[in-house]
Amino acid sequence: MADIEIEIDGNIINAKAGEMLIAVTDREGISVPRFCYHKKLSIAANCRMCLVDVEGAPKPQPACSTPISDGMKIHTQNDKAKASQKAVMEFLLINHPLDCPICDQGGECELQDVAMDHGSDVSRFTEGKRIVADSDIGALIQTDMTRCIHCTRCVRFGAEVAGIMEMGGTGRGEDMKIEPFLAEGIQSELSGNMIDVCPVGALTSKPFRYELRSWQMNAVSNVARHDLVGSNIYTQTYKGRVKRIVAKDNESVNETWISDRDRFSYEGLSHENRLLVPKIKVEGAWQEVEWNVALDFAVRGLEKNVRQADQLGALSSNTATLEEFYLLQKILRGTGSENIDHRLNVKDIDNTISLESNIKLAGLEGVDHALVIGSNLRLEQPMINHRLRKASLSGASIDVINAMAFDFNYRINSENIIAPNQTALTLASILKSVLKSAHTEVPEYLGNAEVTEIATQLANQLTDSDNSVIILGEHVINNPQALSISNLISEIAQKTNSTILNVSATANSMAAGLAHFVPGKGGLDVNAMLAANLNAYILLDIYPQYDFHHSVQAIEALSNDDTFVISLNSFKDDVVSEYSDVLLPIASFYETSGSHVNVEGKVQSFTAAVNAPSDAKPAWKVLKVLADLLELPGFHYADSMQVTSEIMHKSYKQHVHDENIDITVKRGVNVIWQKSPYAVDVLSRHAVSLQDTKIGQINSASMNKATAKKLEITQGDNYLGVPVSISESVANSCVFVNANHAIRGQS
Query: Which residues of the shown chain bind ligand FES in the complex (CB under 6 A)?
Result: 34-37, 45-50, 62, 64
Q: Does 151 bind ligand SF4 (CB under 6 A)?
A: yes
Contacting residue, 159, 532, 632, 669, with other proteins by CB under 8 A: 159
What are the residues facing 285 on neighbouring strands? 282
- Using CB atoms within 10 A of its CB, is residue 334 exposed (0-12), middle (13-18) or buried (19+)? middle
* Minimum CB distance to other proteins, residue 151 (Å): 16
Min dist CB 179 to ligand FES, Å, is: 21
CB of 408 to other proteins, least distance (A): 15
Q: What is the DSSP letter of 654?
A: P
Q: Closest CB to other proteins among 166 and 341?
A: 166
Q: For the CA atoms of 157, 161, 166, 170, what is the dihedral angle to 10 degrees?
A: 40
Q: How far is the CB of 435 from ligand FES (least distance, A)?
A: 55
148 three-class SS: coil
Those residues whose C-beta lies under 8 Å from the C-beta of residue 24, and which sit 6 or more positions away, are 6, 8, 13, 15, 68
User: What minimum distance in Å lies between the beta carbon of 109 and ligand SF4?
Assistant: 10
Q: Which of residues 190-209 bind ligand SF4 (CB under 6 A)?
A: 197-200, 202-203
- Residue 591 per-residue DSSP state: S
Q: Which of 182, 285, 638, 656 binds other proteins (CB under 8 A)?
A: 182
Considering only residues 343-402, where is the footprint of ligand SF4 by CB under 6 A? none
Residue 48 interaction partner, one of ligand FES, other proteins, ligand SF4, none, beta carbon < 5-8 Å per kind: ligand FES
CA torsion sign, 341 to 343 to 344 to 349? negative
**CB 178, min distance to other proteins, A:** 10
Q: Cβ distance 500 to 359 under 8 Å? A: yes
Helices and strands in the chain: count of H runs, count of E runs = 23, 31
CA-wise closest residue to 118 among 198, 214, 52, 172 = 52
Q: What distance in Å separates the CA atoms of residue 693 and residue 515, rounded to the nearest whole number?
A: 36
Q: Does 166 bind other proteins (CB under 8 A)?
A: yes
Task: Identify each DSSP E strand in 289-403 by its residue range.
Answer: 312-316, 340-341, 369-373, 397-402
CA distance 287 to 686: 25
176 vs 629, beta carbon nearer ligand FES: 176
Q: Does 219 bind other proteins (CB under 8 A)?
A: no
Minimum distance from CB of 154 to ligand FES (Å)? Answer: 14
Residues shown for the chain: 747
In the complex, least distance from residue 741 CB atom to ligand SF4, rounded to whole angstroms:
35
**Residue 215 burial (C-beta neighbours within 10 Å; 0-12, 13-18, 19+):** exposed
664 exposure class (CB count in 10 Å sphere: 0-12, 13-18, 19+): exposed
Q: Which of 679, 338, 672, 273 is nearest to 526 (CA)?
A: 338
Please, what is the minimum distance in Å from the beta carbon of residue 173 to other proteins? 8
Number of residues engaging other proteins in binding (CB under 8 A):
13
Please say which residue, 20 or 280, places its beta carbon nearer to ligand FES.
20
Q: How far is the CB of 49 from ligand FES (least distance, A)?
A: 5
Question: Residue 154: which of ligand SF4, other proteins, ligand FES, none does it interact with, CB under 5 to 8 A by kind?
Answer: ligand SF4
The minimum distance between CB 541 and ligand FES, in angstroms, equals 46
Between the alpha carbon of residue 19 and those of residues 30, 70, 77, the distances in Å are 15, 11, 20
Please identify, using beta-carbon distances, which residue of 23 and 711 lies nearer to ligand FES.
23
| Among 32-40, 176-184, 215-223, 661-669, the segment contacting other proteins (CB under 8 A) | 176-184
Distances (CA, A) of 607 to 113, 239, 389, 486, 593: 31, 17, 32, 36, 4
Closest CA to 127 of 171, 174, 165: 174
Q: Does 154 bind ligand SF4 (CB under 6 A)?
A: yes
Q: Which of 165, 293, 625, 632 binds other proteins (CB under 8 A)?
A: 165
Q: Is 178 in the site for ligand SF4 (CB under 6 A)?
A: yes
Determine what percent of the chain falls in helix, strand and coil, rounding each to the nearest 5. 35, 20, 45
d(CA 109, CA 103): 9
Under the criterion CB under 6 A, does residue 152 sit at the interface with ligand SF4?
yes
168 binds other proteins (CB under 8 A): yes
* From the list ligand SF4, ligand FES, other proteins, none, partner contacted by residue 62 (C-beta under 5 to 8 A by kind): ligand FES
Member of 49, 81, 149, 195 binding ligand SF4 (CB under 6 A): 149
Binding of other proteins by 169 (CB under 8 A): yes
Considering only CA atoms, which of 51, 5, 54 is closest in space to residue 28? 5
Nearer to other proteins, 169 or 363 (CB): 169
- Give the contacts of 325 (CB within 8 A, at least 6 positions apart): 316, 342, 508, 511, 512, 514, 515, 517
Which one of 150, 243, 279, 360 is in contact with ligand SF4 (CB under 6 A)? 150
Minimum CB separation of residue 163 from other proteins in Å reads 10
CB nearer ligand FES, residue 86 or residue 436: 86
Distance, in Å, from the CA atom of 429 to the CA atom of 432, rounded to the nearest integer, reads 5
Nearer to ligand SF4, 74 or 186 (CB): 186
| Residue 152 or 345 with smaller CB distance to ligand FES | 152
Q: Which one of other proteins, ligand SF4, ligand FES, none is in contact with 171 (Cβ closer than 5 to 8 A by kind)?
A: other proteins
Q: Which stretch binds other proteins (CB under 8 A): 177-185, 219-227, 449-457, 734-742?
A: 177-185
* Least Å from the CB of residue 468 to other proteins: 25
Could you say which DSSP state residue 158 is in?
Answer: I
What does the binding site for ligand SF4 look like in residue numbers (CB under 6 A)?
148-154, 178, 197-200, 202-203
What does the binding site for other proteins look like in residue numbers (CB under 8 A)?
159, 164-172, 180-182
